[in-house]
Amino acid sequence: MRLALLTCCCVLRHVLARELRINVSDGALAPINRETDMNRDQVKGVAQQMKGKLNEVVGKATGNRTQQLKGDLQQAAGTARKAFGDGKAKIRKLGR
């Protein structure tokens, strides 16, 4: 179980890096491009998705159906918040 959680954390780190558009190749996180930076809602949405995924994985590993369901709901809420942030970013980009 410990190895599964460690692997999950590594995977989540790379997912977050991809969503935030940053490099993790040398172990350090560095921004790639200022134009592609995410707004607050996008970042919080991705973080909420990750938190939900972690809860889901822990729930599956421990057999706790309630925690697994909580993770699924957090992921859905995170997806909605990120979509809202994406919309804000598109509107802001059109205004330039």
Which residues is 23 bridged to in the sheet? 30
Domain map (residue ranges) of the chain: 2-94
pTM of the model: 0.64
DSSP class of residue 28 equals S
Provide, rounded to the nearest whole percent, the portion of the chain with pLDDT above 90: 54
Residue with tokens 């599956």: 60
For the stretch 47-85, pLDDT in tens is 999 999 999 999 999 999 999 999 999 999 999 999 999
Residues 6+ apart with CB under 8 A from 85: 38, 39, 40, 41, 42, 43, 44, 45
Mapped onto helix, strand or coil, the DSSP state of residue 71 is helix
Choice between 11 and 32, residue whose per-residue pLDDT is larger? 11
